[in-house]
Structure 1
Amino acid sequence: MKLLFAVFLGLLATVSSSPVKSLEQDFVEYSADLVEKINLMNTTWKAGANFARETAASLLERFSTPGLSLEKAPKAPIVKHGRAGALPTEFDARTQWPHCPSIGRVHDQGRCNGGYALSAAAAISDRHCITFPGLHWNFSAEDAVTCMTPTIGLDGCTGGYSSDTWRYWVQHGLVSGGGFNTSSGCRPYAYKPCDHYEKGSYGPCQARPSSAVCHESCIAGYPVHYTADKRKGATYYRTGTDETDIQREIMDNGPVNADMTLYEDFFTYRSGVYQHKTEQSMGFHAVKIIGWGVENNQKYWLCVNSWNSEWGDKGMFKILRGTNECRMESNVHGGKIYR
């Protein structure tokens, strides 16, 4: 971990003639030189000050995932789409299935490094709504974070792989659950939203919890027993790595989720079509893909992040499409709902 911090510190020192900064500084101040560098490039996206009231050290520690890498991710079966025909230039699942409000919902993983579970559970919820119009069943990311056994045995809030969430859903099922501090579903998300923006309204993020406990019971007042509330999926898989495979998967079945390499400049994203401009990887992150389009002649995927709606472009971002940017197109996951 100290080596990782040292590399990151050295990277920022090379983009500025200013003195080396301390990891204990507020991240807005710490990353100012990096933001300036990105914006001077006149590239396809704009950077800005994010993660105020959080030190660089705490931010990097919270999102690092010791022992995990995309190379070690468990490999689900690959499903490719053979259907021919022209694809639209733009597609937005929110427009295609307007009766499913979950598609555009932006979550906040808070102090828990549970983006892998949040984005997968969100995509599963979307697909359930698409399969059963009018039935808004939100699958619990909290159930996945705390109750499934990760591939390498890490605590769920330390991080994990998206494929583990899909596999757990198929093999064991997930109960229902809404957002933090709600009475929605059997097991709502347990971690408070926090600031991921320059001047956020949620307050600072707390330290990552030392453990995530699996409570095989629903919240008080929920009328269904935990076991009876579980719903299993039919299948889970990876898509092909070609962009058309991913596009047809989204068009046919709904949003997908994807693991992506997390570069330090992604923390500073504000708008435009993201492509990493720094080389230091901080591990990986998981997001939901709900569509695609073209902006200023740049093809992009339209993605929903889990850092609340104040981060990025109202909680969303665009990322370069067709080039396996951040290895996203190699790690796209989906699954089928029992009808």
Structure 2
Amino acid sequence: MPPKHNNTHPVHPTHPIANHTHANTPVNDKSLIDRINSNHTHGWKATEYSRFDNMTISQLRDNLFGLSLMSSDEDTPRMASIETRVDIPMNFDARTQWKGCVPAIRDQQTCGACWAFSANYVLAHRLCIATNGKTNVVLSPEYQVQCDTMNKACQGGYLKYSWTFLENTGTPLDTCIPYASGRGTFSSGTCPTQCKIASMSMSKYKAKNTVYISGINNIKTAIMTYGSVQAGFTVYRDLTGYKSGVYKHVVSTVLGGHAVALIGFGVEGGSNYWLAANSWGPNWGMSGYFKIAQGEGGIENQVYAGEAVY
């Protein structure tokens, strides 16, 4: 039987406007921000961030949005629909449900390693929850950036392969291999074999039983039961200026694919949303978090999570 290839094709098309007309447009655009903030029907507010100063749309796309969104995934086991809970509330926030297990918001800077940051967030979160707070650690996305040969380091990657790596190899603590690829550079082919601190042992934390989760109620059930999940979606230009509210894109310029951790859900202003942890630092959005409308950018189409091994 010939191999299946449809599960590795990017699902988001290259947007002609994004590549040509607006390629050299500054990311921080006061006129766009004013347009968003002056129209209350949009349901969210925008602002400028210094992290995007002197950066163009083209540079931003090249630096941050290399995640490949797959058209389908027939290989990864799916979360059984019969597991769906019937007691799903209107609002849920993992930060209040498991107060002692809230991973810190990280900053990927100008390296397109959202696939590693979000997977590490989810694994650490689930490990803390599964151990009732006894194992509350910060994992190393840098190790995965340097060592995961199935993905493309700062040039992006695939969600499913990030979990394949966490199952087969695992990742150590962030104090063992600190983040050093923030400027978009990494040491190709030099996977570390020992911690930066010589006296520290390189113990790795692994995942198991990774599942592809489809359907809104299944995603909600997974978050409520086990903790956050990893989600990939298509990003539009205006997300960079998000400040508060429920995000729905206003402009049509596509930047590319991005991955985040979904940690909750709710309803605000009549809009159903997912609560997400981003990796653009704690000064972006709502202290590093944002609310994104259900269905926005295909947010429910690429959702993965594995169980923590402990």
Instruction: Sort the TM-score into its range (normalised by shorter chain).
Output: 0.7 to 0.9
The residue that corresponds to 2:178 in the other structure is: 188
Report which stretch shifted further, 81-90 or 208-217.
Answer: 208-217
* Structure 2 residue corresponding to 1:157, chosen from 154, 158, 162: 154
Q: Displacement of 1:309 after TM fit?
A: 0.9
Quickly say closer, same or farther: Cα 1:300–1:210, change in 2 above 3 A.
Answer: same
Say which SS state the counterpart of residue 262 (structure 1) adopts: strand
After TM superposition, the score normalised by the length of structure 1 is 0.78
How far is 1:90 from its partner? 1.1
Following superposition of structure 1 onto structure 2, how do residues 99-248 of structure 1 map, counting pairs within 5 Å?
A: 99-102=100-103, 105-133=104-132, 134-150=134-150, 154=152, 156-177=153-174, 184=175, 186-192=176-182, 206=183, 208-209=184-185, 211-212=187-188, 213-224=190-201, 226=202, 229-240=203-214, 242-248=215-221
Return 280-289 or 44-53, whichever deviates more: 44-53
* Among candidates 33, 39, 42, match of residue 41 of structure 1: 39
Q: Match for 1:7 among 4, 17, 30?
A: 17
Deviations 1:222-246 (A, max 9, x none): 421x3xx123222111112x21100
Aligned residues: 291
- 1:262 corresponds to: 235
TM-score, normalisation: structure 2: 0.85
Q: CA deviation at 1:338?
A: 2.9
Once residues 259 and 222 of structure 1 are traced to their aligned partners in structure 2, the CA distance between those partners, rounded to angstroms, is 37
Give me the whole-angstrom Cα distance separating, in 2, the residues matched to 1:143 and 1:74: 28
SS at match of 2:212: strand
Cα drift, residue 110 of structure 1: 1.4
Q: 1:319 to 1:45 in 2, by over 3 A?
A: same
Q: Distance in 1 between matches of 2:195 and 2:226?
A: 30
Q: Which amino acid aligns with 1:327?
A: G
State the SS of the aligned residue for 1:329. Answer: coil
Q: Distance in 1 between matches of 2:283 and 2:73?
A: 30
Change (3 A) 1:138 1:287: same
Stretch moving more, 33-42 or 299-308:
33-42
What SS does structure 2 have at the residue aligned with 1:293? Answer: strand
C-alpha distance in 1 between matches for 2:155 and 2:141:
14
Match runs of 1:279-298 below 5 Å: 279-298=252-271
The Cα RMSD (Å) is: 2.4
Asked if the contact 1:107/1:307 (under 8 Å) is kept, the reply is yes
* Aligned twin of 1:197: none
2:63 corresponds to which residue?
A: 62
Q: Is the Cα–Cα contact under 8 Å of residues 157 and 211 in structure 1 kept in the other structure?
A: no
Does structure 1 residue 87 correspond to structure 2 residue 83?
no
Change (3 A) 1:78 1:54: farther
**What percentage of residue pairs aligned between the two structures are identical?**
30
Q: Give the gaps of 5 or more residues in structure 2.
A: 1-13
In 2 relative to 1, CA 223–71 (structure 1 residues): closer, same or farther, beyond 3 Å?
same
Cα shift at 1:120: 0.7
Q: Could you tell me how far apart the structure 2 residues matched to 1:96 and 1:49 are? A: 32
Superimposed CA distance per residue, residues 198-241 of structure 1 (whole angstroms, 9 cap, x where no aligned partner): xxxxxxxx4x22654422221124421x3xx123222111112x
Cα distance in 2 for partners of 1:148, 1:33 equals 41
Deviations 1:142-173 (A, max 9, x none): 1111101125xx3x011112221111111122
1:202 aligned residue: none
Shift of 1:312: 1.1
Distance 2:296 2:15 in 1: 24
